[in-house]
């Protein structure tokens, strides 16, 4: 690759953040998609993989006697401190990474080269796993009050909205178009969630272009139509999620908020969630607290408070609680907006939906929720998460905050969610990883133009396939707690919101709890499953023995077939180290001589690689690419032993090993 | 023993009777007819009719009408109305849901408790359960403990029989074998309070944990100190040195701890939350409470290192040796010895290191409300234990509910356990009382008070099951592991079952050696240590010890060490927030997980019992076992059918609903009563009643 100035640096030290004295010596590789650090220690050869798209900042620090330190901060809160012996090498790595971490074209992103070895059909199926029209049907739509509108066909009215939208039946195309002209970026009020128990709904839009006195008849009619679509209530709430001051400042720019006098039967409400810039710096401050080497109790608590992060989380939760209460208890419909209606509005609508509807607390339902409130309604993933090189001021942890809100709820209601913490962490990881196409671009329109569905894979299918990893063992669908609305106290209870160690310190193993109830249950569950499998296998074997009456020794001897050593097909892609040939998680990178026992290498594999179905589980993250390239270069070189003796249990395409 | 005088009419209701006119006619006599439930010997001091109890923060709609009585034990609100909004409460057998023991009330002088207690044996000490809690009042309890820990070179000494030497030491305690009684008698004069060295516990490697007071005799100081240390060294099988830890220098003192607790109470209970809204975390930090909890955990962990890894005996030194030493000695033992993480073991630990060692419960809990020496050291210990329980949820037999109830029990003045400054005081005071009342003591040393460990006095058998931790893995769990199944291999795909650091793997509840070999689900921890920060070179050994310990899976039947970073030391919400309605999450909180886990654990219990039954044939014993469950929530019980019980809230089993609400208390009759009470209710008043 033209951007890689040096593909490999030896004798690099990876510094342990917690005990600074401890550092591991190893080799650093740069590939087209990853930075890889491989420990020299022969017995472990632990690898650390970092996707380029995860790199947030790279900092070159002053050269010391031991070498040139390079600090790599990742968007998934991993922090890598490398010491490179030669200043020149360090500079080369630095320059290369700066470029690699900031792609300018979508085509440079990992998802366009990532190939999990699925055929076309499977890929297409993956994309149909989450179907929004099904979701609206589940809500009970269309019905007498709401209909599917084609007004935004070909994105004629609003280019950041989806084409399929639900609007009140009484809202004609004329009203919609008129209303859209009176709203920022033409994001007119459209349905986000319909609560079929009492016909109340949550609608979303952007701010009105009201300035100090402007009015728009169609917009007023639009709000009226929303109110009329809920016969149970004679008013609607209009919730502006901005602080009042911000909203008022917008009036000077010809924008602003609804005047209660102009709209009939609305109750207007401000809920002060700060803007993306405040949130960005708040996260920054909190991460500084996380980076403290050994914070005292007061460093930690003061730092956390001064970051304001938990206060912001609470503001979002409060807005969601307010809306959920209005809908479920007062039976009133709510229109939510902020400025453009794609950040705070998305947060608040999805939190409210999550509180209201237990379906969104299931694995699939949660995917639907993100698809609905975030992806389809034009949350600007590319800008917010800096997938392509762009304005740093556009970057902000908007969806991170939503994900944290969900976690806070999970902490308060440990049995109400079908999924676990890991599910959230993996979603957060992939929002930044660009390994799957779901979160690319800023709108549905852009995604369609890029033909994302034809060229990339869907994360949802991947997560669904591995759903066993994401189940909350405490969840049971039939329990009363998992049905109905989650009710939280609305009184000021800041103490309910906690620092999310599992997310922000997730690469600091030393800071992770040694035991958690969930982990415990998961382990027990897996153990049980394993035993059952074992039992099944043994029963089968017993049957065989009895049937064929073979003598003992023969049965006991290993029945392993010769493992498949399918050589990798040369990829048609010109870039040298794309992951095309490399699939799944099965590779055993550290080479072992084939003479070693099969069982041995299986153990080594589990111990060293701690591989998981997902690449980011362990600190040695992505292993799904570039391996052939690397293996050839790796000092021990040569052969990879089959990693297991039970190759027969495996899908053949999962086993792509190299032969020297 | 008491003559029940008619109460003086000092209470007046300032309220109109309930406004409902139709009720009014009936309610007046009805309320007057309400009778309080009294314990034997309890007397009603005063009563008033037409009292309204406000139970909801936002509305007076649910207020209850009834009669308020005050006895020499409690304030009791009696009503005919059923409690609204509340489908469940666990019951304390001594106290109804509307009762507050007088000792629980701040700002009020309480009755002289000794007068109030029914005497005459009672139900005797010991838990109502299967296992009796050793009280360490006898020679044999100590002897058994010495044998249990395998301490050689230590002996039980009985020179303090009849409290002849020291009034703040137990009658029996354990000393180095090489010290003769005669020497001890001589040395004792040099120690503050004549508190000579007390053995607490011995590690299996022979290192002992010892606590002692300062030597006040400056001239003799070095000599005696030397003698004691030599004796301790002699008692060590490897004759290794003694490590001395001066607690007064390294830990916060009792005044600081009290100040922190006052602030914590202010923050959690007394202040409206609006005011702390923005500054919750810094207000919490300002209390210093968590910092102190952390300091004790950290210091104890360091001593664990000394005992376990450096094989040195540890001597805890403190001026009087009966305050901070209690916390540190107990925490070290909780970390090192799994026995003290069982229910009985924990109770015996409290008997040993607190009650018998002369922790001044009377002064520190301020039962008489006239002590300047109040300090919540016992609560701090329970809080630190909770931190360990929170970090190692499967290592303890008891639950956090148990810890909270235990704390509450220090405030109920019926139990002798937490009432006195020393065992001697109990004997002395109660003997004097018995003589003055002409009660025959017989062979007893003083009156026998009910022990707090007899939980059946306070809770029904069903409620007591809430003390059990469903995650606890007892040693007795049978291992049905077939040897051929031991080597697990990955059969499908390589995935780690966990996101992060994993708990030690379980093999049918047993941690076996094989578990150190990583298996398919990679349960092995690869954690890095969270080190207590130390000057680097000096304590590299300690650093290494912690790092190594944290890099291995935690053995729940071995040593456990606390993680000490800011994210790990947490506020014990159940304890401090349980009475705060705003903090309650209905159908939420850890208790919902606790419920599911209990059901699961019960299911496992039932299954394994059935299994045993099958194996052993129809044994009668199993039948009896079958209806007994460890768990509060039963697998096949009525709760299971309906899923999560509706009454669960994050405060369960405590309920803020129906208790005094912070916000509505001012301006209510109860508040008037409380402030008025200061004037008339005093020890003298009650003394005159006699």
Q: Are residues A499 and A515 part of one domain? A: no
A169/A634 Cα distance (integer angstroms)? 65
B226/A534 Cα distance (integer angstroms)? 63
Confidence band (pLDDT; 50, 70, 90) for A129? very high
Between B676 and A141, residue with greater pLDDT: A141
pLDDT score recorded for residue A572: 39
Backbone region of residue A441 per phi and psi (left: phi > 0; alpha: psi in -120 to 50; beta: other values): left
| CA nearest to A46 within chain B | B526
Between B505 and A501, residue with greater pLDDT: A501
pLDDT score recorded for residue A651: 37
pLDDT score recorded for residue B406: 93
Q: What are phi and psi of A335, to 5 degrees?
A: -105, 125
**Over chain B, what is the mean pLDDT?**
72
- Does residue A73 form part of some domain? yes
A603/A600 Cα distance (integer angstroms)? 5
The mean pLDDT value for A63-79 works out to 90
pLDDT score recorded for residue B498: 33
pLDDT tens-digit series, residues A54-67? 999 999 988 888 88
Beta strands in A396-451 (DSSP E): none
Structure tokens at B105: 């009330």
To test the contact with chain B by mutation, choose from A304, A415, A466 the residue with the greatest count of B C-beta atoms within 10 A, namely: A415
Q: Which domain holds residue A531?
A: 511-539
Q: Are residues A449 and A320 part of one domain? A: yes
Q: What is the dihedral of CA A220, A226, A227, A228, to 10 degrees?
A: 110
Confidence band (pLDDT; 50, 70, 90) for B326? very high
Q: Are residues A129 and A98 part of one domain? A: no
Three-class secondary structure of residue B76 per DSSP: strand
pLDDT score recorded for residue B80: 63
Count of structural domains, chain A: 3
Q: Hey, are the CB atoms on A526 and B282 less than 8 Å from each other?
A: no
**Looking at CA atoms only, how far is residue A369 from chain B in angstroms?**
22
Q: Are residues A451 and A525 part of one domain? A: no
pLDDT score recorded for residue B201: 96
* Spatial CA neighbour of A476 closest among B641, B506, B509, B637: B641
Confidence band (pLDDT; 50, 70, 90) for B628? low
Choice among A481-490, A502-511, B112-121, B639-648 with the minimum mean pLDDT: B112-121
- Does residue A308 form part of some domain? yes
To test the contact with chain B by mutation, choose from A24, A470, A515 the residue with the greatest count of B C-beta atoms within 10 A, namely: A515
8 A C-beta contact, residue A536 and residue B491:
no
The answer to whether residue B512 scores a pLDDT higher than 60 is no
* Spatial CA neighbour of A403 closest among A378, A391, A420: A420
- Does residue A576 form part of some domain? no
Three-class secondary structure of residue A27 per DSSP: strand
Q: Of all residues in chain A, what percent carry a pLDDT higher than 70?
A: 79
pLDDT score recorded for residue B552: 81
Q: Hey, are the CB atoms on A300 and B494 less than 8 Å from each other?
A: no
pLDDT score recorded for residue A156: 94
Choice among A214-228, A293-307, B43-57, B286-300 with the minimum mean pLDDT: B43-57
The mean pLDDT value for B25-30 works out to 52
| CA nearest to A556 within chain B | B484
Choice among A234-248, A477-491, B434-448, B599-613 with the minimum mean pLDDT: A477-491
Indicate the angle between helix axes B289-308 and B324-336, nearest 10 degrees: 60
Q: How many other C-beta atoms can be found within 10 angstroms of the C-beta atom of residue A465?
A: 15
The answer to whether residue A136 scores a pLDDT higher than 50 is yes
Q: Which residue in the list A74, A338, A441, A640 is annotated as catalytic?
A: A338
Compare CB distances from B506 to A501, A509, A523 and report the shortest one's residue.
A523
SS (H, E, C) A324-335: HHHHHCCCCEEE
Residue at which a domain ends, from A48, A69, A102? A102
Q: What is the DSSP code string of B34-63?
A: ------TT--EEEEEEEEEE---SS-STT-
A90 is catalytic: no
Between B393 and B491, residue with greater pLDDT: B393
* Spatial CA neighbour of A192 closest among A325, A331, A342: A342
The mean pLDDT value for A10-20 works out to 77
- Does residue A29 form part of some domain? yes
pLDDT score recorded for residue A337: 96
Three-class secondary structure of residue B175 per DSSP: strand
Choice among A318-327, A517-526, B586-595 with the minimum mean pLDDT: A517-526
pLDDT score recorded for residue A600: 36
8 A C-beta contact, residue B409 and residue B443:
no
Q: Are residues A426 and A501 part of one domain? A: yes
Indicate the angle between helix axes B400-409 and B377-391, nearest 10 degrees: 170
Q: Are residues A199 and A150 part of one domain? A: yes
8 A C-beta contact, residue A335 and residue A238:
yes
Q: Are residues A262 and A219 part of one domain? A: yes
pLDDT score recorded for residue A625: 34
pLDDT score recorded for residue B63: 63
Rounded (5°) CA angle B296-B298-B300: 70
Judge if ipTM > 0.90: no
The answer to whether residue B438 scores a pLDDT higher than 90 is no
The answer to whether residue B35 scores a pLDDT higher than 80 is no
Confidence band (pLDDT; 50, 70, 90) for A464? very high
pLDDT score recorded for residue A169: 94
Q: Hey, are the CB atoms on A18 and B642 less than 8 Å from each other?
A: no
pLDDT score recorded for residue A353: 96
pLDDT tens-digit series, residues A161-173? 999 999 999 999 9
pLDDT score recorded for residue B593: 83
Q: Which residues pair with B271 in a beta bridge?
A: none
Q: Strand B313-318 vs strand B208-213: parallel, antiparallel, or unpaired?
A: parallel
A215/A219 Cα distance (integer angstroms)? 8
B310/A538 Cα distance (integer angstroms)? 48
Q: Are residues A253 and A183 part of one domain? A: yes
The mean pLDDT value for A239-264 works out to 93
Sorted by sequence, the CB contacts under 8 Å of residue B310 that are 6+ apart come out as: B243, B541
Structure tokens at A619: 């600190």
Residue at which a domain ends, from A51, A70, A102? A102
Residues of A whose CB is below 8 A from B588: 412-414, 416, 481, 486, 488
Q: Hey, are the CB atoms on B644 and A487 less than 8 Å from each other?
A: no
- Does residue A578 form part of some domain? no
The answer to whether residue B16 scores a pLDDT higher than 70 is no
- Does residue A603 form part of some domain? no
Q: Are residues A223 and A88 part of one domain? A: no
Q: What are phi and psi of B202, to 5 degrees?
A: -125, 140
* Spatial CA neighbour of B593 closest among A423, A481, A69, A616: A481
Q: What are phi and psi of B540, to 5 degrees?
A: -65, -30
Q: What are phi and psi of A284, to 5 degrees?
A: -55, -45
CATH number of the domain residue A92 falls in? 2.30.29.30
Distances (CA, A) of B673 to A490, B11, B100, B106: 32, 8, 13, 13
How does DSSP classify residue B5? P
To test the contact with chain A by mutation, choose from B493, B510, B541, B641 the residue with the greatest count of A C-beta atoms within 10 A, namely: B493
Choice among A135-144, A157-166, A263-272, B51-60 with the minimum mean pLDDT: B51-60
Q: Hey, are the CB atoms on A486 and B588 less than 8 Å from each other?
A: yes
8 A C-beta contact, residue B110 and residue B102:
yes
Q: Are residues A131 and A49 part of one domain? A: no
- Does residue A554 form part of some domain? no
Residue at which a domain ends, from A71, A102, A133? A102
A379/A388 Cα distance (integer angstroms)? 15
| CA nearest to A421 within chain B | B499
Helices (H), B110-217: 113-116, 139-149, 181-188
pLDDT score recorded for residue B50: 64
**Over chain A, what is the mean pLDDT?**
81
pLDDT score recorded for residue B451: 86
Structure tokens at A476: 């049971």
Distances (CA, A) of B47 to B111, B585, B673: 16, 35, 11
* DSSP H or E run through A100: helix A87-100
Between B618 and A200, residue with greater pLDDT: A200
B174/B188 Cα distance (integer angstroms)? 14
Which A residues in the span 504-543 are in contact with B, Cβ-Cβ below 8 Å? 505-506, 508-517, 519-524, 526-527, 530-531, 533-534
pLDDT score recorded for residue A146: 96
Binding-site sequence positions of A for substrate:
275-276, 338-344
The mean pLDDT value for A450-458 works out to 94
pLDDT tens-digit series, residues A156-207? 999 999 999 999 999 999 999 999 999 999 999 999 999 999 999 999 999 9
pLDDT tens-digit series, residues B532-553? 444 444 468 888 898 888 888 8
Compare CB distances from A413 to B281, B499, B592 and report the shortest one's residue.
B592
pLDDT score recorded for residue B631: 78
The answer to whether residue A656 scores a pLDDT higher than 80 is no
A288 interfacial to chain B (CB closer than 8 Å): no
Q: How many CB pairs under 8 A join A and B?
A: 274
Q: Are residues A386 and A261 part of one domain? A: yes
Q: Are residues A130 and A74 part of one domain? A: no
pLDDT tens-digit series, residues A579-618? 333 333 333 333 333 333 333 333 333 333 333 334 443 3
Q: Of all residues in chain B, what percent carry a pLDDT higher than 70?
A: 62
pLDDT score recorded for residue B490: 30
Helices (H), B627-690: 638-641, 662-665, 669-680, 683-689
Residues of A whose CB is below 8 A from B554: 514-515
Choice among B92-96, B241-245, B478-482, B625-629 with the minimum mean pLDDT: B478-482
Distances (CA, A) of B538 to B244, B302, B507, B547: 16, 13, 40, 16
- Does residue A189 form part of some domain? yes
Q: Strand A200-205 vs strand A236-240: parallel, antiparallel, or unpaired?
A: unpaired
8 A C-beta contact, residue B167 and residue B192:
no
Q: Hey, are the CB atoms on A530 and B503 less than 8 Å from each other?
A: no
Compare CB distances from A514 to B497, B563, B590 and report the shortest one's residue.
B563
The mean pLDDT value for B516-534 works out to 35
* Spatial CA neighbour of B459 closest among B632, B646, B603, B596: B632
Q: Hey, are the CB atoms on A523 and B471 less than 8 Å from each other?
A: no
pLDDT score recorded for residue B45: 67
């Amino acid at each position: 690759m033209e951007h890689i100035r040096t593909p490999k640096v030896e004798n690099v030290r990876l510094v342990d953040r917690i005990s600074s004295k401890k550092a591991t010596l190893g080799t650093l590789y740069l590939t087209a998609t990853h930075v890889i650090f491989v420990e020299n220690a022969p017995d472990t050869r632990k690898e650390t993989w970092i996707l380029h798209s995860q790199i947030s900042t790279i900092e070159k620090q002053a050269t010391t006697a031991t070498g040139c330190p390079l600090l790599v901060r990742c968007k998934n809160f991993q922090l890598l401190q490398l010491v490179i012996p030669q200043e020149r090498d360090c500079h080369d790595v630095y320059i290369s990474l700066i470029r690699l971490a900031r792609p300018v074209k979508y085509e440079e992103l990992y998802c366009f080269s990532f190939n999990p070895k699925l055929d076309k059909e499977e890929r297409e199926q993956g994309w149909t796993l989450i179907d929004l029209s099904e979701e609206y049907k589940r809500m009970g739509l269309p019905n007498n009050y709401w209909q599917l509108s084609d007004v935004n066909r070909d994105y004629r009215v609003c280019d950041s909205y989806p084409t399929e939208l639900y609007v009140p039946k009484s809202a004609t195309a004329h009203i919609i178009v008129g209303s859209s002209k009176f709203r920022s970026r033409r994001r007119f009020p459209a349905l986000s969630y319909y609560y079929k128990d009492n016909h109340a709904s949550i609608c979303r839009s952007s701010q009105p272009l009201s300035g100090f006195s402007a009015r728009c008849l169609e917009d007023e009619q639009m709000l009226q139509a929303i109110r009329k679509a809920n016969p149970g209530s004679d008013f609607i709430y209009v919730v502006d999620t901005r602080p009042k001051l911000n909203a008022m400042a917008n009036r000077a720019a010809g924008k602003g908020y609804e005047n209660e006098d102009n709209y009939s039967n609305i109750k207007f409400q401000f809920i002060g969630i700060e803007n993306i810039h405040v949130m960005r710096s708040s996260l920054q401050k909190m991460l500084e607290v996380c980076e403290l080497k050994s914070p005292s109790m007061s460093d930690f608590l003061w730092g956390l408070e001064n970051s304001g992060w938990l206060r912001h989380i609470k503001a979002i939760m409060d807005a969601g609680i307010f809306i959920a209460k209005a809908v479920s208890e007062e039976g009133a419909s709510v229109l939510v907006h902020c400025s453009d209606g794609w950040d705070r509005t998305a947060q608040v609508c999805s939190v409210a939906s999550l509180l209201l509807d237990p379906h969104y607390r299931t694995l699939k339902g949660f995917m639907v929720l993100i698809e609905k409130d975030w992806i389809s309604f034009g949350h600007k993933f590319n800008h917010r998460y800096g997938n392509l090189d762009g304005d740093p001021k556009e970057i902000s942890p908007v969806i991170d905050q939503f994900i944290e809100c969900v976690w806070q709820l999970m902490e308060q209601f440990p049995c109400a969610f079908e999924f676990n913490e890991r599910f959230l962490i993996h979603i957060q990881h992939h929002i930044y990883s660009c390994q799957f196409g779901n979160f690319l671009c800023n709108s549905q329109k852009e995604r369609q133009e890029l033909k994302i569905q034809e060229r990339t894979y869907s994360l949802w299918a991947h997560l669904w396939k591995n759903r066993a990893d994401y189940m909350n063992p405490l969840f049971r669908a039939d329990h009363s707690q998992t049905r109905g609305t989650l009710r939280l106290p609305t009184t000021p209870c800041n103490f309910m919101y906690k620092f999310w160690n599992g997310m922000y310190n997730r690469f600091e193993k030393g800071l992770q709890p040694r035991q958690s109830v969930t982990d415990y249950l998961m382990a027990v569950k897996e153990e049980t499953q394993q035993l059952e499998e074992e039992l099944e296998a043994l029963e089968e074997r017993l049957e065989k023995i009895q049937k064929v009456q073979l003598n003992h020794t023969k049965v006991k001897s290993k029945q392993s077939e010769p493992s498949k050593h399918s050589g990798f097909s040369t990829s048609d892609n010109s870039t040298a180290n794309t992951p095309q040939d490399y699939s799944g998680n099965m590779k055993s990178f550290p080479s072992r001589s084939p003479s070693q026992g099969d069982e041995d290498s299986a153990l080594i594999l589990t111990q060293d690689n701690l591989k998981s179905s997902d690449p980011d589980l362990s600190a040695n993250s992505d292993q799904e690419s570039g391996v052939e390239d690397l293996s050839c270069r790796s000092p021990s070189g040569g052969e990879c032993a089959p990693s297991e003796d039970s190759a027969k249990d495996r899908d053949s395409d999962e086993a792509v090993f190299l032969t020297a | 023993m008491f003559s029940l005088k008619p109460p003086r009419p000092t209470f007046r209701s300032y309220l109109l009777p309930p406004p409902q006119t139709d009720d009014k006619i009936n309610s007046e006599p009805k309320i007057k007819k309400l009778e309080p439930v009294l314990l034997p010997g309890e007397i009603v001091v005063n009563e008033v009719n037409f009292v309204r109890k406000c139970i909801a923060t936002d509305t007076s709609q649910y207020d209850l009408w009834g009669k308020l009585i005050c006895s020499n034990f409690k304030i009791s609100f009696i009503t005919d109305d059923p409690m609204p909004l509340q489908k469940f409460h666990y019951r304390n057998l001594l106290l109804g849901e509307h009762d507050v023991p007088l000792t629980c009330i701040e700002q009020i002088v309480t009755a002289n408790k000794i007068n109030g207690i029914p005497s005459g044996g009672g139900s005797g000490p010991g838990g109502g359960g299967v296992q009796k809690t050793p009280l360490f009042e006898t020679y044999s309890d100590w002897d058994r403990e010495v044998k249990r820990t395998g301490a050689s070179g230590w002996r039980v000494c009985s020179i303090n029989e009849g409290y002849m030497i020291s009034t703040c030491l137990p009658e029996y305690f354990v000393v180095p074998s090489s010290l003769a009684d005669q020497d001890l008698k001589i040395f004792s004069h040099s120690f503050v309070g004549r508190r000579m060295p007390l053995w607490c516990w011995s590690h299996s490697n022979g290192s002992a944990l010892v606590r002692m007071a300062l030597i006040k005799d400056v001239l003799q100081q070095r000599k005696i100190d030397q003698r004691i240390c030599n004796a301790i060294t002699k008692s060590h099988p490897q004759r290794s040195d003694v490590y001395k830890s001066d607690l007064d220098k390294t830990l916060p003192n009792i005044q600081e701890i009290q100040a922190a607790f006052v602030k914590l109470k202010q923050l959690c209970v007394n202040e409206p939350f609006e005011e702390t809204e923005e500054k919750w975390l810094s207000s919490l930090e300002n209390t210093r409470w968590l910092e102190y909890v952390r300091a004790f955990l950290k210091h104890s962990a360091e001593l664990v290192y000394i005992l376990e890894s450096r094989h040195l005996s540890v001597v805890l030194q403190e001026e009087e040796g009966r305050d901070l030493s209690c916390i540190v000695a107990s925490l070290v033992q909780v970390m090192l010895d799994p026995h003290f993480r069982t229910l009985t073991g924990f109770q015996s630990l409290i008997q040993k290191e607190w009650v018998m060692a002369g922790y001044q419960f009377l002064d520190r809990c301020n039962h008489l409300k006239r002590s300047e020496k109040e300090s919540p050291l016992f609560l701090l210990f329970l809080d630190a234990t909770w931190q360990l329980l929170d970090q190692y949820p499967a290592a303890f037999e008891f639950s956090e509910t148990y810890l909270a109830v235990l704390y509450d029990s220090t405030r109920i003045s019926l139990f002798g356990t937490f009432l006195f400054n020393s065992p001697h005081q109990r004997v002395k005071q109660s003997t004097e009382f018995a003589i003055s009342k002409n009660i025959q003591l017989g062979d007893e040393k003083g009156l026998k008070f009910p022990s707090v460990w007899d939980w059946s006095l306070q809770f029904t058998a069903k409620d007591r099951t809430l003390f059990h931790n469903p995650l606890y893995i007892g040693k007795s769990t049978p291992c049905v592991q077939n040897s051929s199944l031991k080597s697990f291999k990955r059969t499908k795909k390589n995935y780690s079952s966990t996101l992060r650091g994993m708990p030690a793997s379980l093999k049918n509840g047993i941690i076996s050696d094989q578990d150190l070999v990583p298996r398919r689900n990679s349960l092995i921890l690869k954690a890095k240590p969270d080190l207590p920060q130390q000057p680097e070179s000096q304590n590299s050994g300690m650093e290494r010890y912690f790092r190594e310990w944290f890099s291995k899976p935690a053995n729940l039947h071995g040593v456990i060490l606390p993680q000490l970073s800011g994210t790990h030391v947490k506020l014990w919400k159940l304890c401090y927030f349980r009475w705060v309605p705003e903090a309650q999450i209905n159908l939420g909180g850890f208790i919902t997980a606790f419920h599911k886990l209990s059901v699961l654990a019960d299911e496992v219990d039932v299954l394994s019992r059935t299994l045993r039954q099958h194996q052993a044939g129809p044994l009668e014993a199993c039948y009896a076992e079958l209806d007994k469950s460890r768990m509060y929530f039963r697998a096949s019980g009525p709760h299971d059918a309906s899923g999560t019980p509706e009454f669960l809230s994050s405060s369960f089993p405590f309920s803020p609903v129906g208790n005094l609400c912070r916000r509505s208390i001012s301006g209510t009759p109860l508040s008037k009563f409380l402030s008025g009470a200061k004037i008339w209710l005093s020890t003298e008043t009650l003394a005159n009643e006699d």
